[in-house]
Structure formats: structure tokens, C-alpha cells
Amino acid sequence: MASIKMRAKTTDGVTTVKVLISHPMDTGLQKDKKTGKKIPAHFIQEVVCKHKDTTVMTANWGAAISKNPYLSFKFSGAAAGDMLSISWVDNKGEKDSTEAAIK
Amino acid sequence: MTSMKRRIFLKGSLATGAVGMAVSTGLLTPRVSLAAWTKAAFEATDVNGGVSALYGSSNMDKSDKIKIKAPDIAENGAVVPVSVTTSIDGVSSISLFADKNATPLTADFQLGPGAEGYVSTRIKMGKTANVIAVVKAGDKLYSASKEVKVTIGGCGG
């Protein structure tokens, strides 16, 4: 699965990371228009981003994050060429991860 | 004949029982492994309840060192871009609340030692509400809020 797109760039020692994940992020409140039944909740609960075995950011999400989530954050202490890894886990136990080099 | 039926019935209930067990254990394991995901905080129905479930206290100081960037009017509540920037030193966590949502806590970002005080994401908002950012630095909590008018809600429908 390639559900994650990640870009990271370092300028003046600060690395900006931008992440796009494709995921339905169903709240559990929405109804299926055809059947009238509620669509069960299905959302990402945890996103972890690591740089050289150090966790730089852990995001705990509720169902109120938009569909196909976008996330951006900044951290210092990384150099261009370093590898960043990111992974997510949702409330159904599905997961995915990817790696990208910092530009 | 009756004994045959009973036997089939027993077999059937045993099989579904086993499947049920497998499903429930399968569903439980990933939740247990998420130590940081505080269920009580995400299910709290008001902002103060969410903050205290998340941080253990709801004593917050309003701070002008937190800047929330969000649209004044969001046409579509399903996608509201929100950025939080803070110049407070030693930020360890930033969380986002939309106070009129059924469960206000939308996201909680735990920042590592080298992280800058900045996060950006897109959230869903049910109706016009204040977006509240709570920043934890050291042992103190700081907050700031910004009203976002929503013309079409993004929860349910």
C-alpha cells in the first residue's frame, strides 16, 4: 500500500515535513445514502514520525480530522539526506508506513 | 431427526462463537498497543473535559504567543485548514479543539525535543465554533482560540 506521501525539506537547520495520507476517516455519524445505515467509524488514531530512531512527532487523532488527512510540522536537528520514517495505525488495526529522504 | 438438528445447531453456534472471539480479540489488540491514545479525552463532550482527560488538569492561561491560522468563514466544514504556530519555549504538545463538535478534541500532537512549535492539519467542524489550540510547555497549559464560521457542516449528513 502506498497510502502516504511525505515531503521533507531542510532550510537553515529547520526541517519542514508535509504528509498526505489517503484514508476515508469516517466519523461513525454519517449515514449511507442508499441503505440508510450508519457508516461505522474508521479513522486514523496515531501517526508517528521518526528521524534516526528518535520520535520527532506523535499525533493522536480523533475522527474529526478531515478525509485524506494532511499534516505538517517542523523540527530541527536533521540534515539533508537523512531518512525520515512515518507510520499510522487506525481504529480497525490497519496500518501503513513509509520512508523518505530529507531534501 | 431431532438429534441431527440439534447437532447441526450446536456445530453452528460453536463456529460463530469462535469467529466472534477472533474478531473481538483482533479488534482489541491494536487499541491496547496505542498507549498514548487517550479514549476518555477523545470521547469527552466538552472542551474542559477533554483538556483534563488529556493533560490531567484544565487550568489554562490565555496566551498571545499562540497564533491560530484558520479561515474566518469556512464554506465546507468537512475540510477546515488549521495551522498553529507558537513562540513559547519548550513546547511538548499541541492539541486542537473545535468547541461545538460532539467530541471537541480533534487532534493532539506530541512533539519531540527538537520540534518547533508548529503544526498544520485539516479538521472537520459540525457548525460555527471556536477553534481552540492548547499548548503544553513545561508543566503549564496555554490556550488561544479563533472563531470559524461554518456554512455547511462536516460531521454527519
Structural domain spans, chain A: 4-101
Report the candidate in A16, A13, A24, A17 with the shortest Cα–Cα distance to residue A90: A24
**Band of residue A36 on the pLDDT scale cut at 50, 70, 90:** confident
Q: How far apart are CA B96 and CA B10, in angstroms?
A: 51
- Which among A31, A53, A61, A94 is the top mutation candidate for probing chain B, defined by the most B β-carbons within 10 Å of its own β-carbon? A61
In this predicted model, what pLDDT tens digit does every residue of B22-46 receive, in sequence order?
444 444 433 344 556 777 788 777 8
How far does A59 lie from chain B, in Å, by closest CA? Answer: 4
Q: How far apart are CA B102 and CA B82, in angstroms?
A: 19
Please name the residue that has the C-alpha cell 467509524: A41
B114 touching A (Cβ < 8 Å) = yes
Q: How far apart are CA A19 and CA A96, in angstroms?
A: 13
Is the Cβ–Cβ distance between B117 and B94 less than 8 Å?
yes
B25 touching A (Cβ < 8 Å) = no
Q: In whole angstroms, what separates CA A84 from the centre of its chain?
A: 13
Q: How far apart are CA A83 and CA A103, in angstroms?
A: 10
Q: How far apart are CA B55 and CA B61, in angstroms?
A: 14
Helix, strand, or coil (residue A53): coil
Domain layout of chain B by residue ranges: 1-33, 39-152
**Given CA atoms B60, B131, A73, A19 in this order, what sign does their dihedral have?**
positive
Mean pLDDT of the region B56-60: 81
Q: What is the per-residue pLDDT for B16?
A: 52
Residue with the bigger pLDDT between A13 and B37: it is A13
Give the number of other Cβ atoms within 10 Å of residue A71's Cβ. 25
Which among B26, B109, B154 is the nearest to A73, CB-wise?
B109
Contact B112 A75 (CB under 8 A): yes
Please name the residue that has the C-alpha cell 523540527: A75
How far does B62 lie from chain A, in Å, by closest CA? Answer: 23
Q: How far apart are CA A58 and CA B13, in angstroms?
A: 43
In this predicted model, what pLDDT tens digit does every residue of B8-21 receive, in sequence order?
655 555 555 544 44
> CA A66, A73, A27 angle in degrees (round to 5)?
15
Q: How far apart are CA B106 and CA B79, in angstroms?
A: 13
Contact B107 A65 (CB under 8 A): yes
Contact A64 B36 (CB under 8 A): no
B56 touching A (Cβ < 8 Å) = no
Which among A59, A77, A93 is the nearest to B109, CB-wise?
A59
In the CATH scheme, what is the code of domain B39-152? 2.60.40.2470
Relative to beta strand A44-51, strand A83-90 is antiparallel
In this predicted model, what pLDDT tens digit does every residue of B86-142 receive, in sequence order?
988 888 889 898 888 888 888 898 888 888 889 999 998 888 888 989 998 888 889
Please give the CATH topology (third level) of the domain spanning A4-101.
Immunoglobulin-like (2.60.40)
Q: Residue A84 phi/psi, 5° resolution?
A: -115, 140
Q: In whole angstroms, what separates CA A16 from the centre of its chain?
A: 14
Verdict on whether the full-model pTM lies above 0.90: no
